[in-house]
Structure 1
Amino acid sequence: MSKKLMSVFALALLAATPATAAPFCTGGDWGSGGIRISGGIRIGTIDSDDRHEINLMRLRRIGVDATRAEEWNGCIRAFVRQPGGGEIMQFFDPNTLEQVY
């Protein structure tokens, strides 16, 4: 097999390989704005910075050593400190706070 043909075959094989899928979550219940209390009463509004801070506090409460959290692809994307130093990105379901892989 010639080198050119092998190169074309290798590129075709690489292009046919599926990419690693990004985590996807169904999303939390932030769409309506404000906090809902039974009976449909709404108090104030919550902007994206507030949601990020609330999600960060929720993750810290369950023991995730996150430095920041944001909404991404329906998930909570958190940057989590590692014991040996540095941070890694982890994804969590906004409803259950289970880690999404």
Structure 2
Amino acid sequence: MIVKPLMPALLVLAMFSVPAMATPFCTDDRGGVSITFGVGGPRSSSEFDQNQLDLMQLRRMGVDATSVERWNGCLRAFVRNPGGGETMEYYDPNTFRQVF
């Protein structure tokens, strides 16, 4: 059948014809040691504490974030829109500058 040999070529053509979504990447180069004791739930308390500190820092800088988490080396923040709803934004964890 003629269709089978064309499938790989069509797949490659489809991959390059669809624009790729840009994924931010940050380098969190702050070294350090983290020691956690106790029983944790889905997240460790040190991770929760770090997220809260990052949230407070972004708010101090005027970002109306509702939550923040470390993701792909960046801070992923959910930020309120003036007209309602939220937008996901990314920030560098060292400088707290927005990453586009």
* Fold equivalence (TM over 0.5): yes
Supply the distance in 2 between the matched residues of 1:27 and 1:80 (Cα, whole angstroms): 21
Offset at residue 60 of structure 1 (A): 0.1
Name the structure 2 match of 1:79: 78
Moved segments of 4+, more than 6 Å: none
Which stretches in structure 2 are left out of the alignment for 5+ residues? 36-44
TM-score w.r.t. length of structure 1: 0.71
Name the structure 2 match of 1:47: 46
Q: Quick check: which one's strand share is greater?
A: 1
TM-score w.r.t. length of structure 2: 0.72
Relative to structure 1, the CA distance from residue 62 to residue 47 in structure 2 (aligned partners, 3 Å threshold; closer, same or farther) is same
Supply the distance in 2 between the matched residues of 1:59 and 1:14 (Cα, whole angstroms): 40
Offset at residue 31 of structure 1 (A): 4.0
Which 10-residue stretch deviates more, 58-67 or 10-19?
A: 10-19
Supply the distance in 2 between the matched residues of 1:56 and 1:30 (Cα, whole angstroms): 20
RMSD: 2.5
Which stretches in structure 1 are left out of the alignment for 5+ residues? 35-45
